[in-house]
């Protein structure tokens, strides 16, 4: 059907950074399969054009998106049929375009295109994957609303559970036997982990709707850091830290996330240290561990939501992959930045940098947008 070598199809989708590539690659690893049939399983419209822009292949999603049957699409000149033309002759291209449907209506799509060339560099085929922008935006909004609603509903009972477990731990209901204390500690630990996850989800829902704000007040970073550090973690704070303006609650939260990760990924009780020092007109906060480390090719995506390293997944470490994304959000809301140094088996150092600023630098709450 003119699809061409299967490897080129997958490689083209990967080069164009399409989610479809992940689907194809996973199915390919599962065993031999017909690439044409597999493309029909994708939710996005896939078109393959020859050098003259004639459609040589389309999947079922393309029929649904544009309203033409496959037999009506094959052999037609795509720019004429869809009333849209993007001149892509090499490499990849991604952008929004407007296409015409069979009934004359228009649809805006996010189009990802990749070109196949011959040995002489001449274009011989183009594969494009088109996603309905309006549909994706509606789905994103539904997901955001659902997460916010569920998180709100979970926060109250989780806060109550943690409150009562603290009362039990403090002995308000009587002295606990050692085995009872261990059980309560497990409940408290998991309750804290769930509450942190809920708070992160709520914060990201506020980022998405533009309502997440950070206070702007004088911050004693030494006090903030000490409040966020767990017992057993070494803490070194320089005595000459410059004043910083920001939100002490969220700054403590950022440090807590980093310390939590450092402890979690240091199996066997490896040393974890937090250091704060003046640095380049601001303050640098370093959280260092000597744990399992992170491969260099994973550093860039670590601060995306729900990103988890291959090492973490292989080692069955718990986590939703939201902590570092939240740290980055907090730093950007304070005009700061975050960086990472790590290698597999050599530990990790995450550095937060905040600009110096005394009380006069406070100009009102900072709002973070998506």
Percent of the chain scored above 90 by pLDDT? 20
pLDDT band at 271 (very low <50, low <70, confident <90, very high): confident
Q: Which two tokens stand for residue 293?
A: 């480390």
pLDDT of residue 111: 87
Mean pLDDT value across residues 203-228: 84
- The encoded tokens of residue 126 equal 């183009």
Yes or no: say if 303 and 324 are a contact pair by the CB < 8 Å rule.
yes
Q: Work out the mean pLDDT of the chain and round it to a whole number.
A: 80
Q: Give the confidence band of 343 by pLDDT, cuts at 50, 70, 90.
A: confident
Average pLDDT over residues 209-234: 87
Would you give the end-to-end CA distance of the chain in angstroms? 42
Q: Who has greater pLDDT, 351 or 134?
A: 351
In the chain, % of residues over pLDDT 70: 81
Mean pLDDT to the nearest integer, 153-172? 86
Q: How confident is the model at residue 140 (pLDDT cuts 50, 70, 90)?
A: low
pLDDT surpassing 50 at residue 358: no
Q: What per-residue confidence (pLDDT) applies to 235? A: 92
What is the average per-residue pLDDT within 8-31?
A: 50
Out of 240-244, 292-296, 318-322, least confident range: 318-322
The answer on pLDDT for 181 being more than 50 is: yes
| 46 contacts 128 by C-beta, under 8 angstroms | yes
Q: What domains are defined for the chain? A: 6-132 (3.30.450.20), 137-211 (1.10.287.130), 213-368 (3.30.565.10)
Long-range contacts, stretch 142-150, CB < 8 angstroms, 24+ apart? 144/205, 144/208, 144/209, 147/201, 147/204, 147/205, 148/201, 148/202, 148/205, 150/201
Which region among 159-168, 284-293, 310-319, 321-330 has the lowest average model confidence (pLDDT)? Answer: 310-319
pLDDT score, position 287: 94
Taking the model in full, what pTM does it have? 0.57
In this predicted structure, the answer to whether residue 363 has a pLDDT above a threshold of 50 is no
């Amino acid at each position: 059907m003119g699809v061409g070598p299967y490897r080129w199809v997958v490689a083209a989708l990967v080069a164009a950074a399409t989610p479809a590539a992940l689907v194809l690659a996973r199915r390919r690893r599962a065993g031999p399969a017909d690439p044409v049939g597999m493309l029909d399983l994708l939710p996005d419209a896939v078109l393959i054009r020859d050098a003259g822009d004639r459609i040589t292949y389309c999947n079922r999603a393309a029929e649904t998106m544009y309203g033409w049957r496959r037999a009506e699409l094959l052999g037609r000149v795509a720019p004429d049929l869809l009333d849209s033309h993007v001149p892509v002759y090499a490499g990849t291209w991604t952008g929004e375009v407007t296409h015409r449907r069979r009934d004359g209506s228009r649809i805006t799509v996010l189009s990802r295109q990749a070109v196949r060339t011959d040995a002489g560099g001449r274009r011989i085929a183009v594969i494009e994957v088109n996603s309905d922008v309006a549909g994706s935006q509606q789905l994103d909004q539904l997901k955001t609303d659902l997460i916010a609603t569920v998180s709100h509903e979970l926060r109250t009972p989780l806060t109550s559970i943690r409150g009562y477990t603290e009362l039990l731990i403090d002995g308000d209901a009587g002295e606990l036997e050692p085995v009872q204390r261990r059980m309560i500690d497990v409940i408290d630990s998991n309750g804290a982990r769930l509450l942190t996850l809920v708070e992160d989800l709520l914060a990201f829902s506020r980022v998405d709707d533009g309502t997440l704000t950070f206070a702007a007040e004088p911050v004693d970073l030494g006090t903030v850091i000490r409040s966020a550090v767990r017992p057993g973690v070494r803490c070194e704070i320089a005595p000459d830290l410059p004043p910083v303006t920001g939100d002490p609650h969220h700054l403590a939260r950022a440090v807590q996330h980093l310390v939590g990760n450092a402890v979690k990924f240091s199996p066997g009780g490896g040393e974890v240290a937090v250091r704060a020092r003046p640095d380049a007109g601001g303050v640098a906060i370093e959280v260092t561990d000597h744990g399992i480390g992170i491969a260099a090719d994973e550093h860039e995506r670590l601060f995306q939501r729900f990103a988890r390293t291959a090492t973490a997944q292989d080692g069955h470490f718990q986590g939703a992959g939201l902590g570092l994304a939240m740290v980055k959000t907090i730093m950007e809301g304070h005009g700061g930045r975050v960086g990472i140094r790590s290698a597999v088996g050599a530990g990790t150092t995450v550095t937060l940098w905040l600009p110096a600023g005394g009380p006069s630098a406070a100009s009102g709450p900072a709002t973070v947008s998506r």
